Structure 1
């Protein structure tokens, strides 16, 4: 799911009438090897990706998932170090109630800023902001070591990783178009956030928390499929825009994929923890 600015471009299935001036769209000039013009039985010319384009898209996809993986590793390391050193507890004692909300506010601010500005900043700058965000997330998530056992955290991470991989492969290989479900997923996310805010001011039952956690898992599973397809589509759109633009898009997509995994992991962890209780 794209949480910031969604770059626009022509769809890869846009077509041209015979005799019209060639519009190369997302695949660039076909004479440069980015795509080939093919005439269908109805006399319509379409631009088809070549092996060069497909390899470029594969490299770009690998880059996005690589950035996401690095960010996850950084989050995990910071969380472990913060827990071992007691840094979060010290920060909370020094800052008081502000210590609970300040990290989350800063994280939300960085995510919004990065999502809105990533296409207009240098790729290296965007990468730094992304890693800073991942480190802050690790600082905040260090509290899970106080709430859950190491075994529960390990099981939740393993389940999430396997589930995430399967969903990603499904999203990249299925012919179903999950991109059409974007508005529904946004509405579902808003409802989930509002529900959790309300539950902060009441005393929810264990069953209610389990239901919310299960809904969260389903929602972010759908978002994982959506973002896998979105990542593939957006790289196709920018295949001919140069390496700097591809790096920027990689950070944008990596942020979306990262958030999908982290949220799915937290809901799986919550569900496992409630079940063990």
Structure 2
């Protein structure tokens, strides 16, 4: 038996360990680490955890407000894009009505009989001038004025396009129109739903369009073969298919940049409608040249 067992002055091993811990400066059980004191935790010294008042409520409210704002902008953008396509559709309806009425009354034939080739050239120049002026000045016009000029341009286009009834049979015109509607719708949906940025292709498409226009002007002074016409029409169809997708994404991007400026959005809808209108009409004409049966 240990001789220190009954010694009242002997410290227990536990006390020796506690003393060594105190001497070495190591934290003890019940001692606050880094508190600078040796007080132990108790009911009066327990740490109090407080939450800033309404901090969670403010954060949640801000999140909801941001989401609501983003949703409102997205909704406004979709409404604006829909308006642009509605304006384009209205312009196409005006063109179709004027073309049919011109054919039924023989107005184009009478006009060409009276004016000859100069009258046809004059119509082309007027249409180009109106389209360029509308595209350049629409954002500074009153929305009603811009819309009236757009419908005037659509009517002039219908007067000129009535000539297709003299060249192609009705079944070919109907088939080309149906194909144009299908292609235009598919390309628009692809552009508005894909994550691929088609705006980067804009410079390439406009360069190709310029080359196409120059090539067609040159072909006016020569006698192109049927093969040449088919090749040019195929290239033109591909270019305007790309421009249709490009203008669809451009329309969405432009409306997103103008936010909630209702007047600017109304003006912009006319500009975008003009671009989409030209894409559709040119696609229709190239399809008619490729698949149309001549009278």
Q: TM-score range by the shorter chain?
A: 0.7 to 0.9
Quote how far apart the aligned CAs of 1:104 are.
1.0
2:270 corresponds to which residue? 251
Distance in 1, matches of 2:69 and 2:92, equals 32
1:111 corresponds to which residue? 131
Contact 2:76 / 2:260 at 8 angstroms: preserved in 1?
no
Contact 2:240 / 2:283 at 8 angstroms: preserved in 1?
yes
Q: Secondary structure at the match of 1:50?
A: helix
Say whether 1:266 aligns with 2:285: yes
Name structure 2 gaps, 5 residues minimum.
1-60
Say whether 1:83 aligns with 2:103: yes
1:36 corresponds to which residue? 66
Q: Deviations over 1:154-184 (max 9, x none)?
A: 0000001000000000000111111011111
1:164 corresponds to which residue? 184
Question: Which residue, out of 44, 52, 72, partners 2:72?
Answer: 52
RMSD of aligned Cα (Å): 2.0
Quote how far apart the aligned CAs of 1:94 are.
1.1
Q: Secondary structure at the match of 1:36?
A: helix
Q: Deviations over 1:191-231 (max 9, x none)?
A: 00011111111111111110110111100000000000000
Question: Which residue, out of 233, 258, 265, partners 1:213?
Answer: 233
With normalisation by structure 2, the TM-score equals 0.76
With normalisation by structure 1, the TM-score equals 0.81
Post-superposition, which runs of at least 4 consecutive aligned residues in structure 1 deviate over 6 A? none
Name structure 1 gaps, 5 residues minimum.
1-30, 38-47
Distance in 2, matches of 1:165 and 1:155, equals 16
Question: Which residue, out of 224, 240, 243, partners 1:223?
Answer: 243
Contact 2:77 / 2:256 at 8 angstroms: preserved in 1?
yes
How many positions carry a matched residue from both structures?
Answer: 234
Q: Secondary structure at the match of 1:240?
A: coil
- Describe the shift of the 1:32–1:142 C-alpha distance in structure 2 as closer, same or farther (beyond 3 A): farther
